[in-house]
Amino acid sequence: MNMNIQDPAVVKKFRRTVYIFFKNNGRYTLPWRKTKNPYRILVSEIMLQQTQADRVIPKYKAFIRKFPTVHTLAKAPLSEVLREWQGLGYNRRAKMLHQGAKVIVEKHGGKIPLLYNELVELPGIGDYTAKAVRVFAWNEPEVMIETNIRSVFIHHFFPNKVAVSDENLHPYMGEFLDKNNPREWYSALMDYGSHLKKTIPNPSRKSKHYVSQKPFKGSDREIRGTILRSLVSRSKSLPVLLKELNFPQDKIKRQITALKKEGLIVIRKNKAQLP
């Protein structure tokens, strides 16, 4: 678009649009927005990966009650962590969070690292999550992108483009970033983007990085989740597990092997159980 994004008037107008929406429609009640505790922010960011906020709220509250500090999480057996995680899916995230807590206790004295380079060294922490922790816990100005943020910038600045890359968006994000209060700015962007996706054709579909969600029914994700849920209460023999799960046995066996390899279940004497 023919727009000078360095023009103060352009910056002011765009920020005003985002902040007015946030003032009138912001999701201020989200529990992770009521804290600056780095541990709680980290938990929420891991939970929110590929998961809707409404689904995360009750699980986040229950998880924090069960594991109120990074020390309690690090000391807990993985089986307890997986039990609390049930219902969120992508259970490997729970294992990475648990491993990360151990590293934080052992290497950082139980304090969530502030530095980006130290955050991305933790298990399961990528570029976005490290920056999000820095933004929401310490109000550090970072240029970061996720699906809702991406939707806002594509909608406003690339409405007639397709296959828009994140590299195209970064200059806009950098210029419009509210460096005085990045915590509020990103909360506002995310809520505005979520609103756009519900009210107009999803702008993020124009992104070069857009990947459509595969159906959950009958997927490997469903099978993995069903296996773990079946083992929450007690261990089960492999024949019993294969019999009670309503999926093709070859697919169940394949996911049992994968879960064992990832350390999410263990097999002892032909019985499967949580670690």
* Residue 51: Cβ within 10 Å count: 16
DSSP of 111-140: ----SHHHHTTSTT--HHHHHHHHHHHH--
pLDDT given for residue 230 in this prediction: 94
pLDDT band for position 89 (cuts 50, 70, 90): confident
DSSP 21-87: HHHHH--TT-GGGG---HHHHHHHHHHHTTS-HHHHHHHHHHHHHH--SHHHHHHS-HHHHHHHHTT
What is the residue extent of each domain of the chain? 8-27+142-206, 35-138, 220-273
Q: Is the pLDDT of residue 2 over 60?
A: no
pLDDT at 273: 94
pLDDT band (50, 70, 90) for residue 3? low
Residues in the chain: 275
pLDDT tens digits along 6-36: 788 889 999 999 999 999 999 999 999 999 9
Whole-number pLDDT of residue 50: 86
pLDDT above 60 for 1: no
Say whether pLDDT at 78 is over 70.
yes
Question: Phi, psi at residue 101, to the nearest 5°?
Answer: -60, -40
pLDDT over 90 percentage in the chain: 82
Distance, first Cα to last Cα, the chain: 54
- Assign domain 35-138 to a CATH class: mainly alpha
Encode burial over 96-133: b for 16+ CB neighbours within 10 A, e otherwise.
Answer: bbbbbbebbbeeeeeebbeebebbeebebbeeebbbbb
Q: Which residues are catalytic?
A: 45
Fold classified for 220-273: Arc Repressor Mutant, subunit A (1.10.10)
pLDDT of the residue at 7: 81
- Kindly report, residue by residue over 211-263, the tens digit of the pLDDT: 777 777 888 999 999 999 999 889 999 999 999 999 999 999 999 999 999 99
d(CA 123, CA 214): 26
**230-225-146 Cα angle (round to 5):** 155
pTM of the model: 0.92
